[in-house]
Structures are given as C-alpha cells and as structure tokens.
Amino acid sequence: MTIRDDHALAADLATEAGERLLRVRERVGFADSAALRAEGDRSSHVYLMESLARLRPSDSVLSEEATREERLDPRRLTAERVWIVDPLDGTREFSEEGRADWAVHVALWERGKLAAGAVALPAQGRTLTTAEPPKLPSFDKGRFRIAVSRTRPPEFVQKLAYLVGADLVPIGSAGAKISAVLTGEVEAYVHAGGQYEWDSAAPVAVALAAGAHASRIDGSEATYNQADPSLPDILVSLPELAASLLAGIRDLHR
C-alpha cells in the first residue's frame, strides 16, 4: 500500500477492509448469520487497528469494535489526531445474502474538525472519499426522497416527509444512506434514533467535502472526538433542501 496523504490512506484502508469483508462473506457463508456478523466485525477491526498502528503510530483511534476501556481512554481527548472508524457499518445487512447496503467507515479528526474520510461500499464496488469528493446531483423542485432506517425509522420523520412533500426510502447502514444522498439515490437522510460518532464521522466528512449539508437535526454542527461518543441525530441533504428540512423539523418539535 503506497500512502500519499491522509485522504488516500482513508480511502485505501476502507477499500481494503471492504474487500476483506467480501471474502469473509464467501468463506463463512450466510447459514449462521450471528457467526458471519461476529467474524466480519472482528476481522475488519483487527485489520484497521493493525494498519493504523503501523502507518500512523502517533495517532489515536476510536473504533466501534474497541473495548469500552479503549473507547474511554482519556488520552484520546488530548490527542491532536484521532481516527474514527466503524469497521462494519450495517452488520445486519452484511449478514443478509444479496444486500449491498453496508459499509466501512474510516475518518480522521484533527484539531477539532473532520479532516479526511472514506466510505467503502464493497458490495456496490465503490468507495466515496474526501480525496476525490463525489459531484453532487442536481435537484429540480418537487417531491424528493428521504433515506430512513430499515428497522427503526423515527416517527417524526414520517410526519416530516408529509410536511415537506417527500417519500421515505428504507436503507441499511448510515454510511449507505448518506452515500445515497451523494450519489443521487435519495436527496436527504434524517436520523434521530440514537447513533455514535463512528456511525457518521466518515460519511459526514465526505458529504461536507462534496458540498452537501450535514448537521445535527437542530442545525448545529456535529462535533466529534467527545468524551461520550454518543451522537444521536444527524441530517445530511443536498444543500438546497437543508433550510426547508430544518424548518420542518423545528416545527414538529415545537
């Protein structure tokens, strides 16, 4: 692996981890979904942690699959550079044969901001990255589509869709949903059912680099590398839809 910079490193690591996960699917099979999920989480986490320890030994790492003690290590809070990774986002979809809405997230937080990131969508054969941010699709006025959780769509999003004139599209992982905004499959993603920093850091980094809107659902900036990694809600949309979505959310929460 030839590393040019942090953007390229994020893309290379996410892509390689994704290719390894495809091989795990082939090797383990789908008969025992729990075993497949466990092996996917474990193997991708080990690969990313070993790679970052070798290639960026001075940096800290916050990974979903780390132990609780590792995630709460106070040294992370004083570090200038922290990699925030989700080795397998959308574990449920990963274990279902034929589904392609799962992802690998690799993001770099540096001195208070997301500095680089990549989202690999291995079963779709692509990686979205801050190295070459995707060109946002254009949007003509009219009804649009909002990506929501397959299994636990927030009730308020159904009301929001009615209010702003949108249709809901169930998709698996958060990374797949935010990527769908960037590739034109939907125009927005709204979530308020509870998430953590690793669920959105990498896709938000790519979305911001592409010029999309990304914020908390109250319009405030999503901040990362906090002592408590809970980041329960997120809004990502084409920039021209952000104002109406934020206004709709605000009206529903009055």
Report whether 96 contacts 172 (CB < 8 A).
no
Q: Tokens 């290590």 appear where?
A: 73
Cα(59)–Cα(81) distance, integer angstroms: 5
CA distance 165 to 114: 32
Is 199 annotated as ligand-binding? yes
Burial class (CB in 10 A: 0-12, 13-18, 19+), 132: middle
Q: What is the DSSP string of 119-186?
A: EEEGGGTEEEESSSPPPPPP--SS-EEEEEESS---HHHHHHHHHHTEEEEEESSHHHHHHHHHHTS-
CA angle 254, 203, 155 (to 5 degrees): 30
**Residue 128 counted as an annotated binding residue:** no
Is 89 annotated in some ligand binding site?
A: yes
Binding residues for Mg(2+): 64, 86, 88-89, 199
Binding residues: 64, 86, 88-89, 199
